[in-house]
C-alpha cells in the first residue's frame, strides 16, 4: 500500500484562460501550485497559506471554488500517492516564486503539452480543465 500525502492545490486561472503551473527546485515536473494540508487546517486554508508562501499570491478562502478530490502517484516522492483537494481560483496579478518553487509559468493547452507534468496534473487536472475550456 502506498503512503499518502494530503494536499490542497489550485487550478489558478488568469483572464486569458491560462493556468499557472509550478516546478519545485531540483525537480523536473510541473504541477498545480499548492501544498500539504497541516493537521489543524481545512483544505482551503492550506491552499491560501501555500499560495502566499510559494507565490506571494493572497486569496480569501471564499475566492476558491471546490472542484473535487483526486489521487495519483506523487511526482517527486517515489512510493507515495498524492491525494489532492482541488480548487479553482481566478487570479489577475503578479506571481513571485518563493520557498521551494523554482519556476512558475502560465500555460494554455498547447504550451502545457510541451512540459514534463506531474501525474496528477497530466492525468486529472489539465484534461478536465482544457476539456471544459473548449466546451
pLDDT at 2: 63
- Whether the CA torsion 106, 117, 84, 69 is positive or negative: it is positive
* pLDDT attached to residue 128: 85
Other beta carbons within 10 Å of 89: 19
Task: Give the whole-angstrom CA distance, residue 124 versus residue 128.
Answer: 6
Give the pLDDT confidence score for residue 1 in this predicted structure.
46
Is residue 61 within 8 Å of residue 46, measured between CB atoms?
A: no
pTM: 0.93
Superfamily of domain 3-134: Nucleoside Triphosphate Pyrophosphohydrolase (3.90.79.10)
43 close to 51: Cβ distance less than 8 angstroms: no
Which residues touch 60 (CB under 8 Å, ≥6 apart)? 48
The reported pLDDT for the residue numbered 133 is 66
Q: Could you tell me the mean pLDDT of each successive run of 10 residues in the chain, 135 residues long?
A: 88 95 97 96 97 97 96 94 97 94 95 95 91 66
Query: How is residue 117 annotated by DSSP?
Result: B
Amino acid at each position: 500500500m502506498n503512503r499518502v500525502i494530503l494536499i490542497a492545490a489550485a487550478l489558478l486561472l488568469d483572464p486569458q484562460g491560462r493556468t499557472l503551473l509550478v516546478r519545485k527546485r531540483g525537480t523536473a515536473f510541473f504541477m498545480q501550485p499548492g501544498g500539504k494540508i497541516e493537521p489543524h487546517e481545512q483544505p482551503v486554508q492550506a491552499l491560501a497559506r501555500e499560495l502566499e508562501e510559494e507565490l506571494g499570491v493572497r486569496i480569501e478562502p471564499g475566492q476558491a471554488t471546490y472542484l473535487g478530490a483526486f489521487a495519483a502517484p506523487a511526482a517527486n516522492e517515489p512510493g507515495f500517492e498524492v491525494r489532492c483537494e482541488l480548487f479553482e481560483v481566478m487570479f489577475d496579478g503578479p506571481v513571485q516564486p518563493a520557498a521551494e518553487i523554482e519556476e512558475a509559468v502560465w500555460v494554455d493547452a498547447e504550451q502545457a503539452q510541451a512540459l514534463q507534468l506531474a501525474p496528477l496534473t497530466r492525468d486529472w487536472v489539465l484534461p478536465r480543465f482544457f476539456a471544459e475550456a473548449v466546451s
